[in-house]
Structure 1
C-alpha cells in the first residue's frame, strides 16, 4: 500500500451534502452552484427567472452533477419556507444555504440626487431576503446540529465612492455583515457556521453599460496587491472550501478574497 492509496482521484469536499443557492441563475450564484456540484453536493437552484436557473442546472447535469431548479422569490416568506421545507423533506437534510441574490441597487447617481426610495431599496431587499433565507435554513439545521449559512459581499471599501457613485450598496453590505455576526453568535451553539465571502469587486460581473465600467475594472485591479482580482472560478472554489469540513473551525468571519485590496 502506498501513501496515496487512501487519497481519492478527485477531491469531493461536499459529498452527500444538500445545498440551496438563492440567486443561482446569476453569474456568482451559478459559479458557486457549479463548484458545489463538482464537489459532490446536490444543489437546489433558487431564483426568480426559470430560464437562467434551468441553464445552470443543465450545465451541471452535463458535467455529471445533480441540480434542481425552482422559482422562488427570496423576498416572499411563504415561498422561502415552503421551498426549504420541501428540500429538507426530500433530501432528509439541509446542509448549506447561500444567498447571493441581487440587491437591486441604483448606482451611478450621487447620494444628494437620489430619492430615498432608491437609496433604501437595496438595504430593504438585502436584509429581508438574507433574514428569510437564513432563518429558513437554520430551522432545518438546528435539529441536526450542523450546517453552513453563507452570504456574499463583506465590509464595503468606501474608497470607491470617491470616484464611483454606488448608492446604498455600502450601507447594504454593512447591514448584512451585522446580521452575519449576530447569526453566528446565536447559531454557533447549534453547530451552525455563518460566513461571508468578502470580495473586492468582480470585474466579470460589471455590466458593459454601467457608467464608467472600464474605469471601474481598472480601479479594482489597481487596488489589489497581486495585480489580479478574483474570478468567478475563485468565488466557487472558496465557497466550496468554506462550506466543507476543512473549514469547520471558521465561523462569524468574512473570508477575504480581495487579493489584498482590503487588509484585515
Structure 2
C-alpha cells in the first residue's frame, strides 16, 4: 500500500472533499485523523473507513483555532508516532453570485481570511513535527492553478483566496524543502459533484466547468482522492512546490 504506516490529518474531514481524501488515504494504509467542527459527520466518515478495514480517529476542533490545531497535532504525533500528511479542506464560507463591486468588504474578505488562516495554522502545526522527522507532505486544494479569472460567474473573494493559498504553498515549499518536507497543490478546476441539486446556477456552472475541459468531463471526488494518495506517497517523492493538474485538460501546463 502506498501510505502504509503513515499518519494523515484531514481538516474538514467530514465534508465531501475531506471524505474523498480520508478514504483514499485509509485505503492505501494510512491511519487517518479526521478533524472538524461537527462530531456526527466526522464519526460517519470514520465508521465508513473502519467498515472497509481502515483506521480512523476523530477530533472536534476549529481549524481556525491555532491552539486547538497545535494541541491536536501534538497529540497525533505523541499517540501515533508521527505526522506524515496534512491537508485542510474546510469550508471557506464564500459568497458567490454577487459581483465584486456590489459585495460588502466583509463578504469579500471572509474566504481569503478563512483559507489563508486555516492553511497557515494547520501547515505550521504539521511542519513543526515534520521538521523533526525530516519528512512529510502538506497538501492544499482548490482552483485550477491557471491564474485566470472566472469570467462567466461572479465568484466573490473565492478565487482571490485560492491565489493567496497558492502563494503560501510555494513559500512553504521553499522554506521546508531542506527538511525533506514536500508541499503540493491539488487543482481540479471544479468538481461538479459538489454542486447541490437545488443550487440555482448548478447547470450553468456545470456547463462552464465541463466546457473548458479537453476530456469533456470534470474531475470526481474519487479522482481527487486517488491523486492525493499518489501525491502523499513516496512515488511522488521528487515532487514539491508544484501542483497536480487534475482539471481534465481545462488548464494546460
Tell me how many residue pairs correspond in the alignment: 252
Report the counterpart of residue 46 of structure 2 in structure 1.
Answer: 57
For the pair shown, which has the larger CA radius of gyration, 1 or 2? 1
Please point out which of 48, 54, 58 is paired with 1:69: 58
Q: 1:25 aligned to 2:14?
A: yes
Matches of 1:129 and 1:63 in 2, distance apart?
A: 30
Residues 170-218 of structure 1 show CA distances to partners (whole Å, capped at 9, x for unaligned) of 1001100000000000000000000000111000011233331111112
Q: 1:89 aligned to 2:78?
A: yes
Please point out which of 193, 210, 235 is paired with 2:199: 210
Residues 121-175 of structure 1 show CA distances to partners (whole Å, capped at 9, x for unaligned) of 0000111110000000000110110000001014366453x22110001100110
Cα deviation, residue 72, structure 1: 1.2
Q: What is the 5 A alignment of 1:57-206?
A: 57-154=46-143, 155=145, 158-160=148-150, 162-206=151-195
- Classify the secondary structure of the residue corresponding to 1:82: helix
Matches of 1:196 and 1:159 in 2, distance apart?
A: 18
Report the counterpart of residue 3 of structure 1 in structure 2.
Answer: none
More deviation, 58-67/203-212: 203-212
Report the counterpart of residue 238 of structure 1 in structure 2.
Answer: 227
Report the counterpart of residue 15 of structure 1 in structure 2.
Answer: 4
Runs of 4 or more consecutive aligned structure 1 residues displaced over 4 Å after TM superposition: none
CA RMSD of aligned residues (A): 1.0
Please point out which of 217, 223, 227 is paired with 2:212: 223
Matches of 1:64 and 1:45 in 2, distance apart?
A: 16
Normalization by structure 1: what TM-score? 0.93
- Classify the secondary structure of the residue corresponding to 2:196: coil
| Runs of at least 5 residues in structure 1 that lack an aligned partner in the other structure | 1-11
| Runs of at least 5 residues in structure 2 that lack an aligned partner in the other structure | none
Cα deviation, residue 102, structure 1: 1.2
Q: Please say if residues 157 and 262 of structure 1, whose CA atoms lie closer than 8 Å, have aligned partners that are also in contact.
A: no
